[in-house]
Structure 1
Amino acid sequence: MHIKFTHAIFRVIAFLFAVALLYSPFVWSQPLTLSTFASGLNGPIGITADTNGNLWVAEVGTGNNDGQISILTPNGNKHPFLVGLPSVYVEETGEVVGPWHVYLLPGNTVAMVIGGQAGTDFGASVVYASSFGFLPGDAPLTTANITYVDHIGDYIYGIGYTDSNPYAAEWDNDGNMYVADAGANAIVRVDANTGDYSIFATFPDFPNPVPVGPPFVNVVPTSILAAPDGSGFYVSSLTGFPFLPGAASIFHVDWDGTVTTLYAGLTTITSMAINPINGNLMVTQLGEFSLDIFNFLPNSSQLLEIEPDGTVTPVVGLLNSLTGVAFVGPDIYLSSIFMGEVYSLAEQLPLPVTLSSFTGKALQNGNLIQWTTASETNCAYFTLQFAPDAQHFTTIATLNGAGTVSVSKNYSFTHLAPVSGNNYYRLIQTDFNGQTHVLKTINIHRNQTETNLHLTVQNNMLYASLAGFSSDQPVIARIYDLNGRLLQQQTIYAENTGTLALDLPAGLHKGLYLLQLNAANTMLNGKFIW
């Protein structure tokens, strides 16, 4: 991140700074396993998870305007979403500035916080694009697909600040945005209704207690998170050079912008997330800076867990340059800017169900899904989910489990609304205590029909012109959204011309939808835009 060194360094003096952290021994219920989830990334910073278990990553790039937002699917494969974002090498500090964080907002809106130069098209700003209809593997979007820009840096310089580096953002329930600016060391509020900018909170410098570096040290905000109790926000800080150990804090900012220290005695905090299991705060430490080597010590980056009383527990350490943390269910994911990697951290829990088989086959009336368990422990129920694209799953069935048994149990379900082509099915098991486990995903491929189907939308009506259907055959017509959610089903008859006329569902939003027709053991599928 962009931090100015305001004074020349003439000498390096080793300084021992007492770290006032209350560390306590901690034992996880099961061993934690750290593994490399994805590698070969260009400076991954912020990461966030979507509802399908994908990770969205902001890659700062190499300084050649090659910043981008990428999607990491659950198997760790990388798929660029938007490329060509600003990525600038700052000679003064020897670092690269570009996309810092990515956020997923309602209405398929993707918000990206970008550093860089104010006064340019996308530098020092928050930019927006739509992910509607985008699937991992599609051709990536470009800056031509950016729909709106909030020029945070222009505002900051316009009111007299000498530096701006929008780094992270958060939104309240009314849609107002709060941007942590790591150059101005302030929170900028963007009004959702008027678009007006204002300074919401500031973080004053503090005296430098060592003879190395400037006389005052910056309090550099690095992440902002809505407080779980609705009282405002949590804001983490890195602190500027000389990156003193124990000098960073987590602040609480209430709704009138008042800043109070929530947790002190931390070191170079770069990101935060709420643990969904116990509600504790998880934070990443960039590392410990050594004045002896004038750099961060190798293997000094770590993930910490902070309890409400301030107790700090190291969760995993001996890492380098951690910059992001996110949860997918109970599993933790960490990004490392300089290693170019994303790590996964998971408890190795024995699965409560031993799955012997999970299979499916295409029938004339649908897809038959079957699975067999060899044993079950505290198994409450199974959830079967469907997706036409292996990404946007929706639940189609819930079947009760057998509790605790050591004998084989068989389960089956017929999906009556499959699609031509790929049909992905995901099996999830839930314990009596509410813990869920994704067991397996399979694909059933249905051959495309030879019958031609042409769709036309006129005056809230959908007209389907088709061949091969006689006028006396009833047709079951179903309309789905891209998530596979059934919006409407009706039984109709083809006209003598081979045309079906369907009323579109009330309140249908603009977008892409799927039509499925079933008659006489024949299935047709088509897409239409409303």
Structure 2
Amino acid sequence: MRPTRLALPGAAAALLIVPLVGVGPSVADGHDDDHDEVTLEDRTVLVRTLDNPRGITVDRSGDVFVAQAGEGRGRDGRAPCFPGPEGDVVCLGATGEITELHMRGHTGRLRTTTDVVKGLPSIAARADGSAAIGPSDVDFDRNRLFATIGLGADPAVRDRMPAAYRDLADKLATVHRFDLRRGTATKVADIGDYERTTNPEKDDFDTNPNSLVSDRRGHVVVDAGGNALLHVDNDGDISTTFVFPKEAAVSSPMGRIRPDAVPTTVVKGPDDAYYVSQLTGFPFVKGTATVWRFERGEDPEVFADGFTNVIDLAFTDDEDLLVLEIATNGLASGDPKGALHWVDGDDTDDRKVLTTNLTLPGGLALDGDHVYVSNKSAMANVGEVLRFTLDD
């Protein structure tokens, strides 16, 4: 990846070279005192030993599913290693997983956990498995579990893997469907092949499917590497919905740069439109991330802006928007503190910071008043799933 297109895992890795300072609880005031009553309470760590946990979803019974990007090669000493997108050495392994948190109905209380899908590809730093790229998001469609598996590089790298690892590498940069009862996995769409043949951005080759949401005709997919919003229909055919343009030029240590947009997640809103969050690429200028609204057949429009390095979104039952920032002071700041914002669905200027008691969060999901966040999302062995209670 180019320095101007640091995708989520690689960008977050830069923060790991600084000590992780303690972050205390914080509930900050927003623009409107009328919404001081909107609070986030009862912070609980449900799980604390995950490997680079990312996207989260909740099924109809209230169980929570989280994509773990893995820890690269893990204990596989024969795993292939190669120069990574940030210039370091990364290794491929089969440590990516999808984990189910079995809850007690919709109470928010955990019964037990199960790794329901194992052996998915993961690329991570050789030394400690941090900042992995692998399973990145999960979503259900008619009780079928789907997941994006990232890459963050030219998809041609998959063809250069040793023969013993070729099948594993071929799962990178794809959308997969999993039958949890039968234990089967099916490749639904190869986003990497689509980039190689179509290259929607008409730029360098860089594929990193980072998020998906189901619709009646298939799935809407965000490619954070290709800066594109894609559609995968039920037959696996891929089409381009929108390509995000570069941002306005900003100053950086390398001179004036137009940062890449780097879309990070897509969710369906209460109005059936799609909402897409934006990370913004290097140098990760604070306050420049946008939430876009897409309605089929119409041009995209800005729904809310002024955020920093947004990584996920979710709508509440009251049709307000929660916005999750992976680094509220910017990924280049050296500060791993994340933040969760509440935004009024009718007046997006009316907003509030609910908490900054987060460390590089990576995923967000709601189940009624229960808010689930994957925390420490660029770290191996210490990743968490947090539960909060939203009182609005």
- 1:96 maps to 132
Q: What whole-Å deviation, never above 9, does each CA across 1:13-33 have from its counterpart, x for those lacking one?
A: xxxxxxxx9733443377722
CA distance in 1, matches of 2:71, 2:218: 32
1:52 alignment partner, one of 61, 71, 75: 61
Q: Determine whether 1:165 maps to 2:208.
A: yes
Q: Determine whether 1:124 maps to 2:167.
A: no
- 1:522 maps to none
- 1:237 maps to 278
Residue 121 of structure 1 deviates from its aligned partner by: 2.2
Q: What whole-Å deviation, never above 9, does each CA across 1:473-528 have from its counterpart, x for those lacking one?
A: xxxxxxxxxxxxxxxxxxxxxxxxxxxxxxxxxxxxxxxxxxxxxxxxxxxxxxxx
- 1:33 maps to 42
What's the TM-score once normalised by structure 2's chain length? 0.74
Q: Determine whether 1:112 maps to 2:112.
A: no
Q: Secondary structure at the match of 1:207?
A: coil
| Cα pair 1:248 1:268 within 8 Å, conserved | yes
Q: Which has the larger radius of gyration?
A: 1
Are the structure 2 counterparts of residues 7 and 169 from structure 1 closer, same or farther at C-alpha, using a change threshold of 3 Å? Answer: closer
| Cα pair 1:114 1:123 within 8 Å, conserved | yes
CA distance in 1, matches of 2:246, 2:63: 38
CA distance in 2, matches of 1:221, 1:168: 9
Q: What whole-Å deviation, never above 9, does each CA across 1:22-65 have from its counterpart, x for those lacking one?
A: 73344337772212111101111001111222100000111122
Q: Determine whether 1:309 maps to 2:317.
A: no
| Cα pair 2:275 2:291 within 8 Å, conserved | yes
Aligned 1:240-251 pairs, distance under 5 A: 240-251=281-292
1:156 alignment partner, one of 183, 195, 211: 195
Residue 329 of structure 1 deviates from its aligned partner by: 2.4
Residue 165 of structure 1 deviates from its aligned partner by: 0.5
CA distance in 1, matches of 2:40, 2:135: 35
What code does the residue aligned with 1:237 have? Q
Residue 152 of structure 1 deviates from its aligned partner by: 0.7
CA distance in 2, matches of 1:242, 1:314: 23
Q: What whole-Å deviation, never above 9, does each CA across 1:404-454 have from its counterpart, x for those lacking one?
A: xxxxxxxxxxxxxxxxxxxxxxxxxxxxxxxxxxxxxxxxxxxxxxxxxxx
Are the structure 2 counterparts of residues 151 and 32 from structure 1 closer, same or farther at C-alpha, using a change threshold of 3 Å? Answer: same
- 1:527 maps to none
- 2:218 maps to 176
- 1:275 maps to 316
Q: Greater relative contact order: 1 or 2 (C-alpha under 8 angstroms, separation 6 or more)? A: 2
- 2:238 maps to 197
- 2:26 maps to none
- 2:3 maps to 5
What code does the residue aligned with 2:320 have? N
Q: Secondary structure at the match of 1:157?
A: helix
Q: Secondary structure at the match of 2:192?
A: helix
- 2:114 maps to 79
Aligned 1:220-369 pairs, distance under 5 A: 220-230=262-272, 232-256=273-297, 258-276=299-317, 278-289=318-329, 294-298=332-336, 300-307=337-344, 308-310=346-348, 311-336=350-375, 337=377, 338=379, 339-346=382-389
Q: Secondary structure at the match of 2:3?
A: coil
Counting aligned pairs with the same residue, the percent is 27
| Cα pair 1:305 1:314 within 8 Å, conserved | yes
- 2:23 maps to none
Q: Secondary structure at the match of 1:150?
A: strand
Residue 256 of structure 1 deviates from its aligned partner by: 2.4
Q: Secondary structure at the match of 1:88?
A: strand
| Cα pair 2:37 2:391 within 8 Å, conserved | no
Q: What whole-Å deviation, never above 9, does each CA across 1:213-262 have from its counterpart, x for those lacking one?
A: 561101111111123212x3110001111111110000012212622211
User: How many residues in Structure 1 have an aligned counterpart in Structure 2?
Assistant: 315
Residue 267 of structure 1 deviates from its aligned partner by: 0.8
Are the structure 2 counterparts of residues 225 and 347 from structure 1 closer, same or farther at C-alpha, using a change threshold of 3 Å? Answer: closer
Q: Secondary structure at the match of 1:322?
A: coil
Q: Secondary structure at the match of 1:147?
A: strand
Residue 171 of structure 1 deviates from its aligned partner by: 2.4
What's the TM-score once normalised by structure 1's chain length? 0.55
CA distance in 2, matches of 1:80, 1:22: 39
2:260 alignment partner, one of 218, 222, 228: 218
Q: What whole-Å deviation, never above 9, does each CA across 1:46-93 have from its counterpart, x for those lacking one?
A: 0111122210000011112200000011225321001010101268xx
CA distance in 1, matches of 2:5, 2:115: 40
| Cα pair 1:157 1:163 within 8 Å, conserved | no
Q: Secondary structure at the match of 1:154?
A: helix
Residue 347 of structure 1 deviates from its aligned partner by: 5.6
CA distance in 1, matches of 2:299, 2:100: 36
Residue 210 of structure 1 deviates from its aligned partner by: 2.0
Q: Which structure 1 segments of 5+ residues have no match? A: 9-20, 134-140, 350-530
Q: Per residue, is there more helix in 1 or in 2? A: 2
| Cα pair 2:252 2:283 within 8 Å, conserved | no
